[in-house]
Amino acid sequence: MPANETGPSVKKKGRRARLIVLVMVLALLAGLGYGAYWSVDSVRASFPQTTGSLKVPGLIGTVDVKRDEHGIPQLYADSDEDLFRAQGFVHAQDRFWEMDVRRHMTSGRLSEMFGSGQVETDAFLRTLGWRQVAQAEYDTKLSPETKKYLQAYADGVNTYLKGKSGKSLSVEHAALKLSDDYAPEQWTPVDSVAWLKAMAWDLRGNMQDEIDRSLMSGKLSPQQINDLYPAYPFDRNKPIVEGGAVTGGKYVPQGQSGNGNGNGNGVGFGSQASVNPGTTTGLADDTTAQGASVGLRTGLTSLAKTLDEIPAILGPNGSGIGSNSWVIAGKYTTTGKPLLANDPHLSPQLPSVWYQMGLHCRAASPRCQYDVAGYTFSGMPGVVIGHNADIAWGMTNLGADVTDLYLEQVKPEGYLYGDKIVPFVTREETIKIAGGGEKKITVRTTNNGPLVSDRSDDLAGVGTRAPVAGSAPDRGDGYAVALRWTALDPGKSMDAVFKINRAKDFNSFRAAARDFEVPSQNLIYADNKGANGNIGYQAPGRVPIRTTGDGRMPAPGWDPKYAWKGGKDGNAGYIPQDEMPWALNPARGYIVTANQAVVESGTGAGKYPHVLTTDWGYGARSQRINDLIEAKTKDNGKISTDDMRTMQMDNSSEIAALLTPMLAKIQISDPDVRSAQKLLDGWNYTQEPDSAAAAYFNAVWRNILKLSFGDKMPKELRVEGSCMNVRAESTGPVDDLAETVRECGTRGPDSAQPDGGDRWFEVVRRLVKDEKSAWWQAPAARNKPATKTRDELFARAMKDARWELTAKLGKDQSTWSWGRMHQLTLKNQTIGTEGPGYLQWLLNRGPWNLGGGEATVNATGWNASSGYGVTWVPSMRMVVNLNDLDKSRWINLTGASGHAYHSHYTDQTTMWAKGELLEWPFGKAAVDKATVDTLTLKP
């Protein structure tokens, strides 16, 4: 349920109360109340055994677990099932708390661990039905081989759990056991499959943009909304693939046979402009839904609040989760074989969402097929990103539009579809609550998906506030909001993980990618075949084909034109996998994917006939990477592994390069502001942590966004706590009598707008040419005159930034630095996020002063609406050397261990912050050389 705007919500009060109890218990465990001996014993009781031997029932043969000085394990076995059984055991040794919390989240059972404060979150997740979909995937979609591996993995986890509870699992479990006698249940294969649903949720594409555009329509005109969502700049920022075509039902890359071998800126803000169908109301088609707009916006406001409450395992979707990956052909590398880099940008977590591991068969055979290493997810078998002996692969979010929101007209007996009332498909759910009690809910589902509005009192009241007019249906018992999402249909993505791990060449890699249905990812590829190896790209994923509408706005669910149809047996029609873009050894010699447009859609030569999305990242990072590669390879230059690492740490700011020359020319009379302005003289636009210029510029940028866009946003998009006086709507005939009221933002800090990402770069790039655009108009404020032009607003932003930094960093500019403002604190994602601040040090670590920033290659993201703190990061970095895999390099955000006081809890973080990479041994000799601990698992 959304937070009460007049005070803390019941939900937050309930959650905080229970977490305070748990933190207090942890304080006792840490020795603040008990003796030091008991404290040390409790903490160390859960540390994993890493030497000697252990019996693991179910193993066919022995498994060696070899750990290096950072605790990163390499597993050696003689059968696939032994390998995955051992993987489950080792994951549980280091990360079972994380695994346990995650499975409770994916199944909507957090209340069982953390009490009544999580009931509404659980209810929303139960409504989505992740667990039911995962069960259906396991029962009906996955191959027998995959099921065998999943069961082996679960058996390994359960072997570890046998006889353990409380402090023998983790200090967090000890706190739960003391406060509520909690004991974990057995792990199941479906627990692993459900993790893919959480991954897909956080990478779900443009759902937040869809909500935001609709909410904007209550205050902004169609043209103003278009100003804020400009078209992708194909003329400046390259897409991933260029010039391909769909021919004979197959995508054919440019120059290949296809077989796979080998600006209107002057709109004012005084009143609503003329209606443009589908934009002013916030609905996809005003002709069929006119009049329902108020109810829709009310519902979407509530939905946005509900979404803010859902734990974001991977990152804040509203900021636009990003990632970088690129691959260089052998002809351009110092090694003569490809180099592949990847750094997914996700939410900073403690422990990191990634777990480094190697899975090796001692000898390849039909019963033992794996020799692979990379980044895994604790709770799921296999390697998600990494390399085997033949190929390497990386991932970035493709961002395909795979969600649609529908406004549904509902009655007690069902919902309107066409000219008929269709019964809901319903199921009952019981949410059990720690400490006793339960809550029962009914989930109602339409042909457009589950009614997410049922999970909020505000959303449920949409119909009571929705004025119906035009050709929209009568209100009846109200309107509701449904969610259609590809991940709610069972699929085979788990099959794809194992197939990719075994792939030997580009053909087998592409075949594996066909099953990677959700989330839709950009997959880059490299191999070591032939003289120079090969590089490639594949866009997999289940992407709907819409016969009406483009998915940018919520659709009228009662109109059959907007349903996802066209596939077999009346199921949704998706872009055929044969028609999804791909590339092999493009002529330019490299491939870059950084959430930019995959292809340019349209008709005619060189255009892609399908719409993957209209909400791409805008290419600031991708084009910077392209430029760096081109600069390095011109005149036959070569790129090394260290060059790839240097590119990953590039801190250059595109928006600073655009705006700084303009800021430098503005006449400033205030000597203190003029002094700050001089910091920008000679600055090279790089955002190093010790840079005073970067600190000042980013403060100016934030204030430009606030003055030009933020204060014009509806309150539903402005950050919580940002309050301003606005003119109340007049109820009488004389507008001059309208009163001024205080209006405060309602959006959470991670998803508020303007967030300052590269969409806003593009917005400002187009507007700066019009110095008198209405966007540059800002009203007078305390000792601040109104602005009417670009330079007036920029001057005011420079002044505001100067005094903001004085308050934050002190008056002495010589002490300013970007890193002091742009800090990363790693928080345990459960107990470490709430509770008394003086006790959070028990589980949290930091802060670290970081360089980089929003939409830079070193993408340490921050939301300009809420502050400068780091909200998402390169969650890991890797560079794979296909000429010598033992010379590959990797780093994790935190460390291998999830145990708060273990030496490997955050032992990689400082190196990560500096841009350093660890050696990544792969071959047997290299692994043996790096091994410091060996544990033998025996039958």
> Could you report the per-residue pLDDT of 533-547, keeping only the tens digit for each?
999 999 999 999 887
| Helices and strands of the chain, counted as H and E runs | 27, 32
Residue 235 clears pLDDT 70, i.e. is over it = yes
Q: Which of 241-250, 290-299, 706-715 has the lowest mean pLDDT?
A: 290-299
Higher pLDDT: 872 or 274? It is 872
The pLDDT score that the predictor gives to residue 302 is: 64
The pTM of this model reads 0.90
The pLDDT score that the predictor gives to residue 526 is: 98
Q: Which of 306-320, 753-767, 863-877 has the lowest mean pLDDT?
A: 306-320
The mean per-residue pLDDT over the stretch 765-792 comes to: 95
Residue 320 clears pLDDT 60, i.e. is over it = no
The mean per-residue pLDDT over the stretch 498-518 comes to: 97
**What CA–CA distance (Å, rounded) separates 449 from 564?**
11
Average per-residue pLDDT for the chain? 86
> Could you report the per-residue pLDDT of 889-923, keeping only the tens digit for each?
999 999 999 998 899 999 999 999 999 999 999 99
Handedness of CA 143, 149, 153, 156 (dihedral sign): positive
Q: Verify cis geometry, omega within 30 degrees of 0, for the bond prior to 57.
A: no
The closest alpha carbon to 195, from 116, 95, 343, belongs to: 95
Residue 633 clears pLDDT 80, i.e. is over it = yes
Q: Verify cis geometry, omega within 30 degrees of 0, for the bond prior to 519.
A: yes
> Could you report the per-residue pLDDT of 356-379, keeping only the tens digit for each?
999 999 999 999 999 999 999 999
**What CA–CA distance (Å, rounded) separates 88 from 151?**
10
The pLDDT score that the predictor gives to residue 933 is: 98
Residue 643 clears pLDDT 50, i.e. is over it = yes
Structure tokens that stand for 848 in this block: 């670290």
Q: Is 73 helix (H, G, I), strand (E, B) or coil?
A: strand
**What CA–CA distance (Å, rounded) separates 842 from 325?**
35
**What CA–CA distance (Å, rounded) separates 117 from 15?**
4
Residue 275 clears pLDDT 50, i.e. is over it = no
Higher pLDDT: 311 or 863? It is 863
Helices 119-128 and 10-27, interaxial angle, to 10°?
110
The closest alpha carbon to 132, from 435, 407, 488, 445, belongs to: 488
Per-residue confidence band for 274, with pLDDT thresholds at 50, 70 and 90: very low
The mean per-residue pLDDT over the stretch 443-468 comes to: 68
The mean per-residue pLDDT over the stretch 160-180 comes to: 87
Higher pLDDT: 316 or 235? It is 235
Per-residue confidence band for 840, with pLDDT thresholds at 50, 70 and 90: low
User: 190: exposed, middle or buried (C-beta count within 10 Å: 0-12, 13-18, 19+)?
Assistant: buried
How far is CA 357 from each of CA 18, 306, 723, 876, rounded to the nearest angstrom?
A: 35, 36, 48, 13
Residue 646 clears pLDDT 50, i.e. is over it = yes
Q: Which of 418-427, 462-471, 491-500, 625-634 has the lowest mean pLDDT?
A: 462-471
The pLDDT score that the predictor gives to residue 603 is: 81
The pLDDT score that the predictor gives to residue 37 is: 42
Structure tokens that stand for 31 in this block: 């020795």
Residue 27 clears pLDDT 80, i.e. is over it = no
The mean per-residue pLDDT over the stretch 28-40 comes to: 48
Residue 567 clears pLDDT 60, i.e. is over it = no
The pLDDT score that the predictor gives to residue 586 is: 96
Helix (H) or strand (E) holding 148: helix 144-161
Q: Which of 256-265, 460-469, 498-507, 538-547 has the lowest mean pLDDT?
A: 460-469
Q: In this structure, are residues 824 and 330 in contact, taking their beta carbons and an 8 Å threshold?
A: no
The pLDDT score that the predictor gives to residue 370 is: 98
The pLDDT score that the predictor gives to residue 322 is: 79
> Could you report the per-residue pLDDT of 51-71, keeping only the tens digit for each?
999 999 999 999 999 999 999
Higher pLDDT: 547 or 202? It is 547
The mean per-residue pLDDT over the stretch 372-391 comes to: 98
> Could you report the per-residue pLDDT of 116-160, keeping only the tens digit for each?
888 888 998 999 999 999 999 999 999 999 999 999 999 999 999
% of residues, the chain, pLDDT over 70: 82
